[in-house]
Amino acid sequence: MQMSILKTRAERGRRHIAAGFTLIELVITIAIVAILLAVALPNFHDFVIHSTVNSTANDLVGALNTARAEAVKRGRPVAVIANGGNWNTGWQVVVAKETAPGVIEAVPTSPGPAEADCKGYIDNAVDGANTTPLCPRYQVALPATYTINAVGTGAGAVATRVVFGLTGALSPANTSFDFSVLLPVVNANPLWSRWVSVSPRGTVTNRRNVTLSPAGT
């Protein structure tokens, strides 16, 4: 009988333990989760911002390298042009068009700011003998609050386009180009922004810290 009573009490104790958290344990758990979130969320926010800037800079570098390679491959000038004259609204890689049989544009011109304009841009509309696409790459607008500053240096340089000549060097000769890919103003930090530069030879570099960038901070 005594053994049965002890077993009953033990079973009740086990059921009590298995019933769940006590109120104190629940409050402590919530407090720990709140502390962890308070620490983690700002770091995650910074991570997202830095990742966006880095991916934007990488997309820009990819477009510049594509333009340079296309210029050498096709034997024509190729440009990276700001959509609608504004780098913040994206950019397009445009190959110089054959305006008449054997006549190539000296400087590539944008077919229009929209992606549809870019996709529909083909070569030699004069005789219809060629339907080669002339806009091999198109980039949409930057996320809101992110910005790009751009500046061309040297005689003939234009701030809204970067032109590569047949050898892969910049055109006009002896020009260079710089971009500052910037964090949102509320998170402004030149040390974490990206500086993309194109040398007169056409070499593209991408580095962190825009403090010394000619395009500014």
Q: How far is it, in rounded angstroms, from Cα 80 to Cα 106?
A: 14
Q: Please state whether 90 falls in left (phi above 0), alpha (psi between -120 and 50) or beta.
A: left
Radius of gyration of the chain (CA): 29
Report the pLDDT value the prediction gives residue 191, as an integer from 0 to 100: 84
Q: Are 200 and 105 in contact (CB under 8 A)?
A: no
Q: Are 102 and 144 in contact (CB under 8 A)?
A: no
Report the pLDDT value the prediction gives residue 39, as an integer from 0 to 100: 59
Q: Work out the pLDDT band at 5, boundaries 50, 70, 90.
A: very low
Q: How far is it, in rounded angstroms, from Cα 29 to Cα 37?
A: 12
Report the pLDDT value the prediction gives residue 67, as an integer from 0 to 100: 96
Report the range of poorest mean pLDDT among 24-28, 56-60, 65-69, 207-211.
Answer: 24-28
Report the range of poorest mean pLDDT among 31-40, 115-124, 177-186.
Answer: 31-40
